[in-house]
Structure 1
Amino acid sequence: MTGPATFARPDRRRPEPLWHQAGEALRALIADGTWTDGTQIPNEAKLSELLGVSRITVRHALRNLEESGLLRREHGRGTFVRSSTVIAGVRGLTSFTQEMAERGLVVGSRLIEMAEIPASSEVADALEIPAGSPVCMIRRLRGGNDLPIGIQTAYLPVSRVPGLSAMTGPLPSLYELLRNRYGIAPQVAREIYRVGSVSAEDAELLDVRAESPAFIVHRIAADNHGPFEFTVSIMRGDRYEIRSKLYL
């Protein structure tokens, strides 16, 4: 259960709905570290008292935060902070950095390897280039709020990104770099998700046991000149979810 926390009580004079204000007050406690990952938050009755709003308003706010991936409800136990989980669903074409920011997480990225290599047949097919063509391979450990979430390996044709593999220093958001340095702006991407397991090599980086469940995600991104990126991501099964809303 949480310790003392300062709640920003909703103001009925403001134009925003009370449930929205209540949700932002709770989100702020997660963002500033008052409520850390795994923390059990107060129940609806207590939150209603602390925020000065009805339980229905609190329930609406909690449901939105749960759908955003910041909270998880466990039947018979309560509601817990889940700030290190990425919820994937219907969304625009964004980078991992943007996904983290949209969910209020502090992005973490560690470069494991960057080199120029010949394209394998799989990479070549994805990028629509001849097998053996030079590609820049970028392998990074990605995280949120100082917790590892996945390993991403991106392949880009050297003809589109000359000199990229020779870069030194911290690597910014890949899409930001491509846009600012090479004038490449993604227009469309195709992603394929499948269930797999974490290899022994990746397990140490992801801080899980070998063969732990994972999502394997293949992304091919293209601009008006064709495919420019093929990325293979290994995402921890306990920190990455896919949710969809279905309509009749």
Structure 2
Amino acid sequence: MIVKGLDPTSGVPLYLQVERSLQQRVDDGEWVPGQRLPTEEELGRAYGVSRVTVRQAVARMADRGVLVREQGRGTFVRDTRLTAGARWVTSFTTELAQLGHNAGSRVLGQAVVTAGEEGLPPEMQLAADARMLRLRRLRTDGSRPVGVQTALLPLDRFPGLADIDFTDRSLYQTLNERYGLVPREAVETFTVGGVLDEDAATLGVAAGAHAFYVERLTFDAHGPFEHVRSVMRGDRYRVRLALRTP
């Protein structure tokens, strides 16, 4: 296959143009995690450039962790998806750190709502007019969008929480330091669906792209204190469970 789009007169080095093209093809899912790329010779023919140019592009992508080169086997797309499984009750930041990733967060919205507006599960045991903090955040792995999470917490339990700016603050760290809260357990329910229009641009995917929908109810010693709804990109998040015989 001949790849079009390189411009030798643009002033941008050819190896950078090849790198950008390869990155786009990985992002578009042409090559999935674990799949081997064509050889340098094959890519050179496809792009109309030398093997040295291809080697520079591939080396830069390997340095960025997008590709991995294995002696005698070839070059593969690195599997950078986050793998969730049985674990302790932690924040998203701690979970990613334990997996060797660098968590990031951006506040998309912070508002006071009522429990009745949000359709909370009965386990929360809240009146319909109970005031809640709704905190909606984009969660990232480095600069890569992973999911959108919406946390709901009762303000009767956490007075003043709605006045805190969470732009650069950890929610769980704040709950611990300010209110002495220590999470004890959580129940998570996973379903699979398509990304809605309202989340697609934020997550950097097309509407309808595969995603995990996760509902989490988190408890401390006094009962449930948090309900979280998450939409996690299916190409950057997966769940693995170990099963044993009784």
TM-score of the superposition, structure 2-length normalised?
A: 0.70
Q: Which structure 1 residue ranges, 5 or more long, are not aligned?
A: 1-32, 47-76
Corresponding residue for 2:144?
A: 147
1:99 to 95, 99, 113: 95
Corresponding residue for 1:42?
A: 69
Matches within 5 A, 1:1-248: 35-39=63-67, 41-44=68-71, 78-83=75-80, 85-120=81-116, 122-123=119-120, 125-168=122-165, 170-248=167-245
Judge conservation of contact 1:124–1:132 (CA < 8 Å) in 2.
no
| CA–CA distance in structure 2, aligned partners of residues 245 and 79 of structure 1 | 26
| CA–CA distance in structure 2, aligned partners of residues 101 and 166 of structure 1 | 28
Moved more, 173-182 or 233-242: 173-182
How large is the Cα RMSD of the aligned pairs?
2.0
Which amino acid is the alignment partner of residue 70 of structure 2? N
Deviation at 1:207, TM superposition (A): 0.3
| CA–CA distance in structure 2, aligned partners of residues 174 and 167 of structure 1 | 10
Greater Rg over alpha carbons, structure: 2
- SS state at 2:119 partner: helix
- SS state at 2:206 partner: coil
Judge conservation of contact 2:215–2:227 (CA < 8 Å) in 1.
yes
Deviation at 1:123, TM superposition (A): 1.6
| CA–CA distance in structure 2, aligned partners of residues 227 and 44 of structure 1 | 51
Percent identity of the aligned residues? 38
1:111-150, Cα deviation, whole Å (9 max, x unpaired): 0111111113622624221122100000000000210000
| CA–CA distance in structure 2, aligned partners of residues 45 and 236 of structure 1 | 33
Judge conservation of contact 2:107–2:166 (CA < 8 Å) in 1.
no
TM-score of the superposition, structure 1-length normalised?
A: 0.69
Moved more, 164-173 or 133-142: 164-173
- SS state at 1:130 partner: coil
* Structure 1 residues 34 and 226: alpha-carbon distance in aligned structure 2, compared to 1, 3 A threshold: same
